[in-house]
Amino acid sequence: MSATGQSQHTTGIAPTTGIAGVGRRGQVLEGPVLQAIGLTKQFKQFTAVDNLSFDVHQGEVLGFLGPNGAGKSTTVGMILGLIKPTSGSVKIAGVDLTSDSSLVAEHIGAIIENPAFYPYLSGRDNLVAHALAVGDVPESRIEDLLKLVNLTERAKDKFKNYSLGMKQRLGIASTLLTEPSLVILDEPTNGLDPAGQREIREIIPRLADEGHSVLLASHMLHEVEQVSDRVAIVRRGRLITEGSVDDMLRRGGYIEVLVPGVDPEAAARVLRRVPVVEQVTIENGRLLVVAPDDAGQALNRALFEQQLIASSIAVKHSTLEDLFLELTEEPQAGA
């Protein structure tokens, strides 16, 4: 049998005991599943990754977000041991990868290119073939994975007749045969139509629910915002910011206050005297107030005491796209 011409890098062997948190097979884990520590990669005069550090914890989805060329794929290559760092280190289950390269196979499942399977075998039989290759995979695991990636009804269909989205989902299932602690998905929705993208987005949180950690490398803001617990944003190989998605969305937020029939500057002067208010600006007659989300009542009271009536007080949050564009925008020449 010969596989398709598409290439795939997958890895994943059953995790051993004594790593971070509670493993998929009940082992006691101690610390992050993955630690990138000061990772740097230089190609001659070009620095692709520059002193990059982040962690991935048990059962979470970390969105590794950056524009094309930001160093995401190079970072993934270093984590998988495919690219040697110029400096820095990768720890998997608390152990330095350079001291034990077998850790990648033991704990990580990854798809970093298009899935490759036997075109004339069914989806189920392809998983059986992969299971035989890695060994010690119960048949029930194959059925569970087909259900997880929504391929049960199409499991008997030949791989060659699958859509791109179905092929990608089968690829994800193949990386999970050995129940890896960490799953790495590098731009998993590239080339997929909207329906295929949605299918992949629906699967990613299920991986975390099963206890896997997920590193999702992507430049798709909508994708990352919907499925990630935390986000690490990189630009030119450097970490710009990192935090929970909720915290990210609160950054740059404000409270919009509308006081019709009143000079906006007069209302602004009142609001600036409220202790919790950091800043008030006026934009097209709207008052944009930088203050805690729960400050609405205090703002309304301050206006009412001055016989000013607000028609609307609404909390406005930035989108991840707003923050991403703000943080990754290249400075203008001469600026």
State which residues form the domain around 227.
Answer: 21-243
pLDDT digits (tens, 9 = 90+) for 61-112: 999 998 888 999 999 999 999 999 999 999 998 889 888 888 888 889 998 7
> 199: domain CATH number?
3.40.50.300
> At residue 22, does pLDDT exceed 70?
no
Distance of alpha carbon 203 from alpha carbon 182, whole angstroms = 15
Q: Are strands 21-22 and 95-96 parallel, antiparallel or unpaired?
A: unpaired
Q: Is residue 12 one of the residues assigned to a domain?
A: no
234 and 277 assigned to the same domain: no
Q: Is residue 8 one of the residues assigned to a domain?
A: no
Percent of the chain having pLDDT more than 90? 54
Residue 161 has a pLDDT of: 95
221 and 280 assigned to the same domain: no
Q: Is residue 11 one of the residues assigned to a domain?
A: no
> Nearest 5°: phi and psi at 198?
-65, -40
173 and 129 assigned to the same domain: yes
The model's pTM is 0.74
pLDDT digits (tens, 9 = 90+) for 199-235: 999 999 999 988 899 999 988 887 888 899 999 999 9
Q: Is residue 177 one of the residues assigned to a domain?
A: yes
222 and 310 assigned to the same domain: no
For 264-294, b/e burial (b = at least 16 CB within 10 A) is beebbebbeebeebeebeeeeebbbbebeee
Residue type, 51: N
Number of Cβ within a 10 Å radius of residue 14 = 18
Residue type, 297: Q
As a whole number, the mean pLDDT across the chain is 84
273 and 309 assigned to the same domain: yes
Q: Give 56-96 as a DSSP string.
A: E-TT-EEEEE--TTSSHHHHHHHHTTSS--SEEEEEETTEE
Residue with tokens 């695991």: 141
Percent of the chain having pLDDT more than 70? 85
Q: Is residue 3 one of the residues assigned to a domain?
A: no
Distance of alpha carbon 216 from alpha carbon 240, whole angstroms = 17
Give me the residues paired with residue 56 across strands: 34
Q: What is the DSSP letter of 160?
A: G
125 and 220 assigned to the same domain: yes
Number of domains within the chain: 2
Q: Is residue 116 one of the residues assigned to a domain?
A: yes
292 and 226 assigned to the same domain: no
> 283: domain CATH number?
3.30.70.100
Beta strands in 6-159 (DSSP E): 21-22, 28-29, 34-43, 46-56, 61-65, 87-92, 95-96, 108-111
Distance of alpha carbon 73 from alpha carbon 241, whole angstroms = 18
Distance of alpha carbon 224 from alpha carbon 253, whole angstroms = 19
pLDDT digits (tens, 9 = 90+) for 229-282: 999 999 999 999 898 877 777 666 789 999 999 999 999 999 999 999 988 999
306 and 201 assigned to the same domain: no
Q: What is the DSSP letter of 113?
A: S
Backbone dihedral region for residue 28 (phi beyond 0: left; psi -120 to 50: alpha; all else: beta):
beta
Q: Which two tokens stand for residue 105?
A: 């196979």
Domain-ending residue, one of 208, 243, 278: 243
232 and 270 assigned to the same domain: no
Q: Is residue 72 one of the residues assigned to a domain?
A: yes
Helices (H), 213-263: 221-227, 245-250
Domain-ending residue, one of 214, 243, 272: 243
Q: Which residues contact 319 (CB under 8 A, 6 or more apart)?
A: 221, 225, 249
199 and 258 assigned to the same domain: no
Q: Which two tokens stand for residue 164?
A: 């791109």
Q: Is residue 10 one of the residues assigned to a domain?
A: no
238 and 306 assigned to the same domain: no
238 and 107 assigned to the same domain: yes
Domain-ending residue, one of 185, 210, 243: 243
> Nearest 5°: phi and psi at 35?
-130, 120
